[in-house]
Amino acid sequence: MDFFLNMTWGDINNGDVGPGAFSWFHLMWLGIMIAGCIILGITVAKKHNPKYDWIVIAVFAALLLGCEVFKQFFWLEFYGYYRFEVFPYQFCSVPIYISILATLIPGGRIRESCYRFLAFYGIIGGLSIMLVPSAVLHTYFIPMSIHSMLWHTVLVVIGVYLIVSRGYGKNLRELLSPCILFLCLVAIAIVGNILIYKLHLNTPACQPGDNLSMFYISPYYPTQIPLLGAVQNISYPLFVLSYLVLFNLFSFLVWGVSKIVRTVRSAKK
């Protein structure tokens, strides 16, 4: 088994953490992601049918739910107790709740807001890992590496599908409702981080709260977001403000790309 891992996954005896960025494993998942976007984009998405949108999001919601249940049981079995640091409330995790909500509620403004969040914000979480995957590729935890790549591939495919199917990129008002939803989710993360740390649930963890940092914006632990680490050391309020500006800027860029593609396609027609 060690020989197989060394040949395909990295030199585990020297502490390699996995295949790394732009390895065969990473490129394979990039190919799957691109293929998924193209296939759904030129088939189902082009029909612009709300019923098909519901079916596609429902399927992806079920897939995400199954992946998350597997992840939680995997870490529970590995640690022997529940570590709250793996609690599924990160920026990349919330699409599971948003997609389930969009599936269960009747069509209307709330469902549309969920769709827009998945399109303009969910795709950010997916691309951030698909382009820089080293942090989620593990030597001995191959099932978790597969889980992470599948999860973030799904986020990108969902986003691209909805942008094509819903015809997003018409006007900036499309960003308003998902931005409000994003702010609410961040507020929940901040309050949750403080409460978990203060209450400390008496687990066998080394530190209070099992180092739980929802959205990686806990005031008690260093963020894992490279661009904002220095800001966090200066001022926590400034750090949170920078976090909000950064992610809203990314969502605007996603919308901008959608706008450009829509404009080019209209010109060709």
Q: What is the pLDDT along the chain (269 residues), one digit of tens a residue?
A: 455 555 456 555 555 556 777 888 889 999 999 999 999 999 999 999 999 999 999 999 999 999 999 999 998 888 887 778 889 999 999 999 999 999 999 889 999 999 999 999 999 999 999 998 877 877 667 888 899 999 999 999 999 999 999 999 999 999 999 999 999 999 999 999 988 888 775 555 545 556 789 999 999 888 988 889 899 999 999 999 999 999 999 999 999 999 999 998 888 76
> Is 9 a domain residue?
no
The whole-angstrom separation of Cα 12 and Cα 205 is 26
Q: What is the pTM of this model?
A: 0.92
Longest Cα separation, the chain: 63
The whole-angstrom separation of Cα 22 and Cα 240 is 32
138 close to 15: Cβ distance less than 8 angstroms: no
> What is the predicted pLDDT for the residue at 5?
52
The residue type of 115 is Y
> Is 187 a domain residue?
yes
> Is 5 a domain residue?
no
Paired tokens of 90: 């990160």
> What is the predicted pLDDT for the residue at 110?
96
> Is 56 a domain residue?
yes
> What is the predicted pLDDT for the residue at 111?
97
∠256-262-268 over CA atoms, to 5°? 140
> What is the predicted pLDDT for the residue at 236?
96
> What is the predicted pLDDT for the residue at 212?
84
> Is 1 a domain residue?
no
> Is 10 a domain residue?
no
Structural domains counted in the chain: 1
> What is the predicted pLDDT for the residue at 201?
55
> What is the predicted pLDDT for the residue at 253?
98
> Is 198 a domain residue?
yes
Q: Domain limits at 183?
A: 19-268
